[in-house]
Amino acid sequence: MPEGPEIRRARDELAEVLFDREVQQISFAFARLKPFEPLLTGQTIVSIESRGKAMLIGFSNGYTLYSHNQLYGRWMIVPVKQYPQISRQLRLAIHGNEYSALLYSASEIEVLDEQQLLVQPYLQKLGLELLAPETSEDDVYQRLNQACYARRNLMNLLQDQSVLSGMGNYLCCEALHASGIHPQSKPGDLTDRQIKRLARNCLGLSRLSYQTRGITNSQKKVAQLKRQGVAFEDYRFQVYRRAGQTCYQCGELIVKGKYAGRMGYICPSCQSLFNK
């Protein structure tokens, strides 16, 4: 599933070709949304923002196009109406004068007026936005240190969008590894120093991933692996999708397992339940 950094980068790409431009044509794959096509065609796009894993595109007549990519959704920018030859299902197309913005495979798409936007369920529950410029390490620390979360398993807590918005499976695995914390740990079992370290890594790795197009490994290690000719997918992560390979920090083999019902990756040496 695309996580906060991927949606924020998609937002940047959409803004480059759509913001402050008139929509020449818009089409939806879903019959329930067809009535909005004439209402949005000819309107100017006045805002584009990402919130957590959702995209919000605002139109000059007050409507907002809400979309959530879920597991497989993907935005693509192409020269106007030059559709790529791919097997994905096209769900939404926004055509300008020069470019088309195409959303494939996503099924959670809504057109909302101003009042509906205020009560949209996913947006209503969003917690602290990790990619918001004003969010600080202390904000994340204070959120994770709340008494109501003390007995929550971290593998679930960190991916709860009402706690930390935009954080998903790969960022969770990477932040826990960088912090030396086992995914079955609970905030109430951690020292204050550990919680602060985890807060720093949740924030820092989310922003690093946004800036580097998905890399959460150390930049020094990435440079080294690049010189060795290693492919992008093989150098971007510390532990995620690296089961059976050696940990960059200690040399132990990375393992894949289920933690609180969620699949994840850990280094059993760096992330022992007894690490403090």
Active site residues: 2-3, 53, 262
Give buried/exposed letters for 184-214 (b at 16+ CB in 10 A, else e): bbebeebeeebbbbbbbbbbbbbbbbbeeeb
- Residues 43 and 33: their CA atoms lie apart, in Å, by 16
260: left (phi over 0), alpha (psi -120 to 50) or beta: left
Secondary element (H or E) of residue 25: strand 25-28
- Residues 269 and 249: their CA atoms lie apart, in Å, by 10
Q: Which positions ≥6 away from 7 have C-beta within 8 Å?
A: 50, 52, 53, 54, 55, 69, 166
If 0-12 CB within 10 Å is exposed, 13-18 middle and 19+ buried, where does residue 276 land?
exposed
Smallest CA-to-CA distance from 9 within 53, 41, 43, 42 is with 53
Smallest CA-to-CA distance from 267 within 195, 181, 187 is with 181
- Residues 83 and 81: their CA atoms lie apart, in Å, by 6
- Residues 77 and 98: their CA atoms lie apart, in Å, by 10
Q: Which residue has the tokens 């706690």?
A: 163
| DSSP single-letter state for residue 189 | G
Expressed in percent and rounded to 5, the helix, strand and coil fractions of the chain are 35, 25, 40
